[in-house]
Amino acid sequence: MNFLQDNLKERFQKIIENGTEEELTVLEHILEGLDDKEHSYINRLLHMNYKITEDGLEIKIPLHPMVNNPLKILHGGITATVIDTAMGALVHQTLPNDKAGVTTQLNINYIAPGIGNDITCKAKISHHGSKTLLVNADVFRSDGQKIAQATGSFFIIERK
């Protein structure tokens, strides 16, 4: 066995033996996400579920202690990550294979705390130009309350 494997085994053993119930739940959540080999690590760790809609694209994630801030509500950075991912996925879906879109600006207004069972981000393209795209997104918690709204600008580049 190599050094990395030995180190990981030792760390896992310490967490399993000494971890709180919440720490063990977070570890289990992380490992479940890593089982999904189809998506990027961040998508897998957040358990993102994509859905193409008539209007655009939706991403839903479960709320879990792993995504909470110290106030035990959804961390704003996680909300921003889900928004940027939904917008970026929608942009890439609309572009031809030889083009890509990169985020140039992301503006988010946080409206309410992220609590409940999950959040859903709904992204829609509001402008599709030859060099830029503008995307809007709203984020809702499981009780239907909007928790954030955002706009994003994406620059269209040649894919290498």
pLDDT tens digit string along 18-55? 999 999 998 888 888 888 777 788 888 999 999 999 99
Give the CA distances from residue 25 to residues 7, 36, 91, in Å, rounded to whole numbers and listed in that order: 21, 18, 34
CA distance 2 to 15: 20
Position 158 scores a pLDDT of 95
Sign of CA dihedral 65, 67, 69, 71: negative
Q: Evaluate if residue 1 carries a pLDDT over 90.
A: no
Position 13 scores a pLDDT of 92
With vertex at residue 125, the alpha carbon angle to CA 120 and CA 131, rounded to the nearest 5 degrees, is 135
CA distance 110 to 105: 16
158 sits in the region (left: phi over 0; alpha: psi -120 to 50; else beta) called beta
**The pair of three-digit structure tokens given for residue 91, joined into one six-digit string:** 């942009």
> How does 56-74 read in b/e, with b if 16+ C-beta sit within 10 Å?
bbbbbbbbbebbbeeeebb
Q: Evaluate if residue 109 carries a pLDDT over 70.
A: yes
The pTM assigned to this predicted structure is 0.89
CA distance 87 to 94: 11
- Domains of the chain by range and CATH? 1-35 (no CATH), 49-158 (3.10.129.10)
Closest to 136 measured CA to CA, from 146, 122, 147: 122
Helix (H) or strand (E) run with residue 123 in it:
strand 118-128
